[in-house]
């Protein structure tokens, strides 16, 4: 938990250790609630090649030197990016880290000229869905939902920038 003696910073993925933290943080929550899927393995195994090099970004949240959270923003269409792989260590949830990660990702989306940010989640992750709603994401109607590579995705949301 950030306090006067600890500093929380949000920075771009910058090392193999950051990429490893991105992978392990996400695998932990996915395996806790769901099953790791092929698309998870592809993105988590190569965040630079799958997210950063196509024009996106991966951010990590550090409490002092420990990576406690992460998020990615990945181009998926003309003017559209997807918020992907947000995770915060369970010991550090509820202290605003997820909010700061989403804000950093949305700032980057705007800087990239994105007109829309999409995301997929699961209705069982009520705290995450509520956080997305607090940022202004709206739920898509059934006829607006594109096919998903994730079996677990039953929440589809967008934010028009």
Tell me the pTM.
0.94
pLDDT digits (tens, 9 = 90+) for 147-156: 999 999 999 9
Q: How many CB atoms lie within 10 A of CB 139?
A: 14
Domain boundaries, the chain: 8-160
Helix 38-45 with 16-33: angle, nearest 10 deg: 160
**Considering only the top CATH level, what class is 8-160?**
alpha beta
pLDDT digits (tens, 9 = 90+) for 22-52: 999 999 999 999 999 999 999 999 999 999 9
Distance in angstroms (rounded) separating the CA atoms of residues 68 and 62: 6
């Amino acid at each position: 938990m950030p306090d006067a003696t600890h500093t929380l910073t949000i920075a771009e993925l910058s090392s193999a250790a950051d990429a490893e933290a991105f992978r392990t943080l996400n695998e932990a929550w996915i395996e806790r609630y769901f099953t790791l899927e092929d698309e998870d393995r592809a993105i988590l195994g190569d965040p630079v090649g799958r997210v950063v090099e196509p024009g996106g970004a991966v951010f990590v949240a550090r409490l002092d030197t420990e990576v406690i959270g992460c998020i990615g923003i990945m181009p998926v269409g003309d003017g559209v990016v997807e918020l992907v792989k947000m995770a915060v260590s369970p010991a550090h949830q509820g202290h605003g880290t997820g909010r700061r990660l989403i804000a950093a990702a949305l700032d980057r989306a705007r800087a990239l000229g994105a007109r829309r940010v999409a995301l997929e989640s699961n209705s069982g992750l009520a705290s995450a869905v509520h956080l997305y709603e607090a940022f202004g994401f709206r739920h898509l109607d059934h006829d607006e939902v594109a096919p998903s590579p994730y079996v677990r995705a039953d929440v589809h949301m967008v934010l028009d920038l």
